[in-house]
């Protein structure tokens, strides 16, 4: 069973709350998105992509802090849908449910597709679909044990991801083609938007972080800041290395599902670098699958009072079927869910934060300013992003 907030804990989790909390947040943020960023940034140019990563990253840092304050102002444990209902009413709950279901099902689908392709690229044997099923079974067995188990696994695996990314940066420095780094295409400035937003989203993990902390809620703010800043640095490093080695022309030659950064690296770079890169892919997607799968289960359990067996069934059946029947491609899933569902989620969190400041049930361990002007600007910008992505799809 999932433990509610304040549950007594012993062992590693009790002694390393900050590390497990950061691992939980990173597990939700650093996932399949990192693998799609290099290709879309190669289209716009690295400089424009870096601007988007930093701008969206800092914006989502603030939004994560807002979400953290919402959680800390509320007595009862919820997922985002429950907090939206508490402070915005039924319409808030319905919209937040749509954003969570759309974004998390899209993410879980992308991870299953990506895991199958990536493991196949590492072992060079078998069918990607077979590895999709194997990864699904392993992830399901971990998630079944609850949020504390996923948090510990996230912490360990994310440590490996960070180590491998820095190792790749050092190893591949001399193989980077500077011409690939200087291209700028203003007309495609918006192309990376949906993918980068998807790659930086981790709001559903904020309630999970609070569950990990138990009674030590004063550590929440530090965890959210650290966990939100690390992905910005990782994405800039990783995208710079991959685009510098491969370049847009080589990306364009590949099949759509081969444009996953690590699969492309295994084709165009040294075998060792390709193996390292694909290990990043597997670890990053696996950790995100754990954290976001847990978030969706919690939504069904905490906010809709579904029995756990139903919550598990609803969470995993849809993405598994989509992946098994190859109904979509990896990068298209990420771009669509990032821009539309991610943008809507951010907008709803800001409105919920404003309401919670006056209608909260307890004094939070930290309190932000109202950020009325900045929050309104973010609502406008993310709203425009939703509209533009919808228009591009239509």
- Tens-place pLDDT, residues 313-351: 999 888 888 777 765 556 666 666 667 888 899 999 999
Q: Quick check: 1 pLDDT over 60?
A: no
Cβ–Cβ contacts within 10 Å for residue 346, how many? 29
Q: Can you list the pairs that 92-101 forms with residues at least 24 positions away whose Cβ atoms lie under 8 Å?
A: 92/348, 92/351, 92/352, 93/303, 95/344, 95/348, 96/345, 96/348, 97/299, 97/303, 98/341, 98/344, 99/341, 99/342, 99/344, 99/345, 99/348, 100/204, 100/295, 100/296, 100/299, 100/341, 100/345, 101/296
DSSP assigned state of 224: H
Write out the two tokens for 64.
């994560």
pLDDT for residue 331: 60
pLDDT for residue 65: 97
pLDDT for residue 8: 44
Q: Quick check: 172 pLDDT over 90?
A: no
The span from the CA of 168 to the CA of 146, in Å, is 33
The model carries a pTM of 0.85
What is the maximal distance between C-alpha atoms in the chain?
Answer: 58
Mean pLDDT, rounded, for 50-56: 95
Q: Quick check: 274 pLDDT over 80?
A: no
pLDDT for residue 3: 39
Mean pLDDT, rounded, for 292-309: 90
Q: Quick check: 2 pLDDT over 80?
A: no
150-162 pLDDT, tens digit per residue, is 767 777 888 888 8
246-265 pLDDT, tens digit per residue, is 888 888 888 776 777 777 87
pLDDT for residue 177: 85
Residue 96 in contact with residue 109, Cβ under 8 Å?
no
Cβ–Cβ contacts within 10 Å for residue 317, how many? 10
Domains defined for the chain, CATH in brackets: 18-393 (1.20.1740.10)
57-67 pLDDT, tens digit per residue, is 999 999 999 99
pLDDT for residue 216: 87
Mean pLDDT, rounded, for 114-137: 85
Mean pLDDT, rounded, for 91-109: 87
């Amino acid at each position: 069973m999932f433990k509610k907030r304040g549950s007594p804990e012993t062992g590693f989790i009790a002694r390393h709350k900050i590390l497990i909390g950061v691992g939980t947040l990173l597990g939700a943020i650093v996932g399949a998105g990192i693998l799609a960023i290099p290709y879309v940034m190669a289209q716009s140019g690295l400089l424009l992509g870096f601007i988007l990563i930093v701008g969206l990253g800092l914006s989502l840092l603030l939004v994560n802090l807002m979400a953290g304050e919402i959680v800390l102002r509320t007595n009862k444990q919820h997922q985002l849908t429950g907090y939206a209902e508490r402070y915005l009413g039924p319409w808030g709950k319905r919209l937040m449910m749509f954003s969570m279901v759309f974004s998390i099902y899209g993410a879980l689908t992308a991870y299953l597709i990506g895991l199958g392709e990536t493991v196949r690229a590492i072992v060079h044997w078998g069918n990607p679909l077979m590895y999709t099923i194997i990864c699904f079974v392993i992830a399901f067995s971990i998630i079944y044990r609850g949020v504390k188990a996923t948090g510990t696994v996230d912490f360990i695996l994310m440590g490996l991801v960070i180590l491998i990314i820095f190792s790749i940066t050092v190893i591949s420095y001399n193989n980077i083609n500077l011409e690939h780094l200087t291209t700028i295409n203003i007309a495609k400035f918006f192309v990376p938007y949906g993918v980068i937003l998807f790659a930086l989203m981790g709001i559903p993990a904020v309630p999970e972080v609070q569950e990990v902390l138990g009674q030590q809620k004063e550590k929440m703010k530090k965890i959210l800041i650290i966990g939100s800043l690390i992905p910005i640095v990782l994405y800039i490093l990783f995208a710079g290395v991959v685009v510098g080695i491969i370049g847009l022309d080589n990306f364009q030659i590949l099949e759509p599902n081969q444009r996953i950064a690590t699969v492309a690296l295994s084709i165009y770079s040294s075998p060792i670098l390709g193996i390292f890169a694909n290990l990043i892919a597997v670890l990053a997607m696996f950790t995100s699958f754990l954290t976001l799968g847990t978030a969706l289960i919690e939504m069904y359990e905490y906010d809709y009072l579904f029995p756990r067996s139903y919550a598990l069934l609803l969470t995993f059946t849809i993405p598994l079927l989509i992946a098994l029947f190859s109904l979509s491609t990896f990068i298209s899933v990420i771009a669509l869910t990032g821009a539309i569902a991610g943008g809507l989620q951010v907008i709803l969190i800001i409105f919920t934060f404003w309401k919670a400041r006056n209608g909260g049930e307890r004094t939070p361990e930290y309190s932000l300013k109202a950020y009325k002007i900045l929050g309104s600007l973010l609502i406008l910008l993310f709203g425009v992003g939703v509209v533009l992505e919808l228009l591009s799809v239509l």
